[in-house]
């Protein structure tokens, strides 16, 4: 167990630096400043404008060597490559591919004190995880599609047996660690695809079904991606773990996030066999950058996921405990309802919300002493 963990911190663009600082403060307060050696590295759209690259090789090497990577957000609309795609997002995408961060874990949980835009749902009703395959699917074609004479353009869905098997296995393992769906307490993996239309998705479904045979204690369920958008709104309590292809995971996780209050609430852990990358699932929100009003809770909760992952990996109970404390502190702030960020209908800015989380952490420590 390392005495201190090397964390590569990439603050990024837009609201990235603000929400990232909040998460850094909170993890240091929860686990102890001396448990981390934090180093900042540049990446993203601003860096691209300055240097011509959105992911400098030194940043990549540092991320690879660190125990974990914490990210704010990346991308500025309009900062694009000659092919029209965004340059700033290269950082996260390349980390996924080059560090093989195949499992993108996105918890969707309605916290007490937060109201959902859905009718008649209570906090206990929404608690599931979207497990997004993060290295294959349609986005694996990034940079590899073709534009023929500006008449035809193609990108290709990529699926491999190895890639689908490992994400399917991860989904069932995750379900085993959880308590089942809120609706009926059943452990359930829902495979979200378009197996009715494309061979690649039929292959995804087939392999998930094969893997399911090793997990008879977990129910296997299927949903077409279009219909899933309806079910996630109509009966979110049915879901426990949803496993899906890269782009579908990107799309459905935004819907999931908004059903539990806001994009600002949604953390994301992107994990491979050796490395972990942690950030909120939202973008860089350039329209509110620098105003001090961004909701930092998604990134703070991602910080908690980082501590939990590091703790489990290095058998460090103190770090796992610190992760739990952050979760509890966030829950307390939300339940109290006095320091809610603007996207949740409150009046508090980034600083005030972060301070409220820090105070809630402190109170717990005093209570425990």
- Are 121 and 236 spatial neighbours (Cβ–Cβ below 8 Å)? yes
Q: Which is nearer to ligand IPM, 255 or 318 (CB)?
A: 255
Please give the C-alpha separations between residue 332 and each of 114, 290, 319, in angstroms, as whole numbers. 11, 27, 20
Q: Is 327 a catalytic residue?
A: no
- Residue 2, number of CB atoms within 10 A of its CB: 12
250 binds Mn ion (CB under 5 A): yes
Cα-to-chain-centroid distance, residue 60: 20
Instruction: Work out how close the CB of 214 gets to ligand IPM at its nearest, in angstroms, rounded to a whole number.
Output: 29
Q: Which single residue is written with the structure tokens 């105070």?
A: 359
Q: What is the contact mask toward ligand IPM in residues 93 to 112, using x (rule: CB under 6 A)?
A: x-------------------
Distances 181 to 132, 150, 219, 252, 303 between C-alpha atoms, Å: 18, 47, 10, 18, 25
Please give the residues from 57 up to 96 whose contact with ligand IPM meets the rule CB under 6 A.
Answer: 75, 89, 92-93
Listed ranges 21-29, 59-67, 244-252, 259-267: which one lies at the site for Mn ion (CB under 5 A): 244-252
| Active-site residue, 226 included | yes
| Neighbour tally for 218: CB within 10 Å | 22
The site partner of 75 among ligand IPM, Mn ion, none (C-beta below 5 to 8 Å per kind) is ligand IPM
Taking CB under 6 A as the criterion, the residue among 15, 281, 307, 360 binding ligand IPM is: 281
Q: How far is the CB of 322 from ligand IPM (least distance, A)?
A: 25
Q: How far is the CB of 263 from Mn ion (least distance, A)?
A: 9
Residue matched to tokens 């540092």? 62
Q: Cα 129 vs. chain centroid, distance in angstroms? A: 10
- Closest CB 95 distance from ligand IPM, rounded Å: 10
Strand residue runs (E) in the chain: 5-12, 36-40, 68-73, 103-109, 127-133, 146-148, 152-154, 188-193, 219-224, 241-244, 267-271, 276-280
Question: Residue of minimal CB distance from ligand IPM?
Answer: 89
What residue 107 binds from ligand IPM, Mn ion, none (CB within 5 to 8 A, per partner kind)? none
Catalytic residues: 139, 194, 226, 250, 254
Contacts with ligand IPM by CB under 6 A lie at 75, 89, 92-93, 250, 281, 283
Contacts with Mn ion by CB under 5 A lie at 250
């Amino acid at each position: 167990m390392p005495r201190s963990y090397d964390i590569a911190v990439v603050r990024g663009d837009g609201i990235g630096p603000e929400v990232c600082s909040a998460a850094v403060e909170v993890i240091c307060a929860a686990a102890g400043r001396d448990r981390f050696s934090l180093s900042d590295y540049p990446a993203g759209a601003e860096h691209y404008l300055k240097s011509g690259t959105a992911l400098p090789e030194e940043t990549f090497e540092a991320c690879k060597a660190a125990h974990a990577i914490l990210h704010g957000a990346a991308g500025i609309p309009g900062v694009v490559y000659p092919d029209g795609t965004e340059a700033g997002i290269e950082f996260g995408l390349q980390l996924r591919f080059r560090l093989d961060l195949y499992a993108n874990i996105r918890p969707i949980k309605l916290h007490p004190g937060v109201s959902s835009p859905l009718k008649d749902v209570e906090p206990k009703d929404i608690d599931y995880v979207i497990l997004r395959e993060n290295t294959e699917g349609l986005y694996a074609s990034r940079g590899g599609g073709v534009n023929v004479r500006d008449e035809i353009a193609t990108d290709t869905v990529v699926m491999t047996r190895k890639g689908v098997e490992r994400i399917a296995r991860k989904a069932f393992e995750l379900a085993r660690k959880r308590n089942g769906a809120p609706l009926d307490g059943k452990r359930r993996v829902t495979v979200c695809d378009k197996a009715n239309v494309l061979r690649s998705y039929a292959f995804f479904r087939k392999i998930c079904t094969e893997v399911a045979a090793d997990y008879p204690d977990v129910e296997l369920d299927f949903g077409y991606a279009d219909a899933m958008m309806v079910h996630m709104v109509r009966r979110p309590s049915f879901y426990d773990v949803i496993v899906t292809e890269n782009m579908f995971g990107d799309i459905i996780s935004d819907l999931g996030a908004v059903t539990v209050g806001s994009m600002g609430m949604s953390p994301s852990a992107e994990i491979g066999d050796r490395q972990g990358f942690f950030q909120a699932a939202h973008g860089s929100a350039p329209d509110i950058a620098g105003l001090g009003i961004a909701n930092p809770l998604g990134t703070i909760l991602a910080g908690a996921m980082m501590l939990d992952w590091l703790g489990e990996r290095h058998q460090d109970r103190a770090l796992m405990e610190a992760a739990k404390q952050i979760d509890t502190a966030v829950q307390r702030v939300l339940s109290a309802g006095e320091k809610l960020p603007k996207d949740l209908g409150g009046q508090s800015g980034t600083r005030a919300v972060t301070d409220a989380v820090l105070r809630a952490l402190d109170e717990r420590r005093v209570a425990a002493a």
